[in-house]
Copies of this chain bind each other. A is one copy, B any other.
Amino acid sequence: MKSSLTLEHQICFQLYTASKELTRLYRPILEPLKLTYSQYLVMLVLWEEDHIDLKQLGERLTLDSGTLSPLIKRLTQLGYVEKIRATDDERRVLVSLTASGSALREQAEDVPVKVSGMLNIDEATYFAYMEMLIDIKSRLREFGERQG
């Protein structure tokens, strides 16, 4: 497997910059919703599955409590979510949408539409790219499982 130390030939660099530049595209789109990109991802999870605990949220997004705790605090201050301690297991904290947080979903509906338009990409290519990214992740996970 060829591998030079040139920046542009590193897949890590291409992933890193592609991710950053795509995130940059989201900023002006998310600004009217008062959400950062990471906060938007959390809201996506909650619109799918409300009353989720921090642990599960972290697993979906690959984020730990060090990132999520303060992030959820900010979403709480924005009035989009609230934290409720679970009664069955008092270690768990359930994150739930407020009325305002649920209502925001409607405004968010056209975020993906706008982004697709900006990317100017056809459906087949879009799905091919999705699969490649998922494949990269599964290769990373396979390695993780092989080792520790």
> In this assembly, does A58 line the interface, its C-beta being within 8 Å of a C-beta of chain B?
no
- Contact assessment for B115 and A17 in the assembled complex, using a CB-CB cutoff below 8 Å: no
A-B contacts, 21 of them at CB < 8 A, read A1-B116, A3-B112, A3-B115, A3-B116, A7-B44, A7-B60, A7-B61, A11-B133, A12-B23, A12-B26, A12-B115, A13-B41, A14-B130, A14-B133, A17-B137, A18-B136, A20-B62, A25-B143, A119-B139, A119-B140, A120-B139
Report yes or no: B143 in contact with A62, Cβ–Cβ below 8 A. no
Contact A119–B133 (Cβ < 8 Å):
no
> Is A21's beta carbon under 8 Å from chain B?
yes
DSSP class of A's interface residues: helix, strand, loop or mixed?
helix
For chain A, which range describes its interface: under 10, 10 to 19, 20 to 34, or 35 or more residues? Answer: 35 or more
Contacts of A7 in B (CB 8 A): 41, 44-45, 48, 60-61
Q: Which residues of B contact A129 (CB under 8 A)?
A: 11, 132, 136
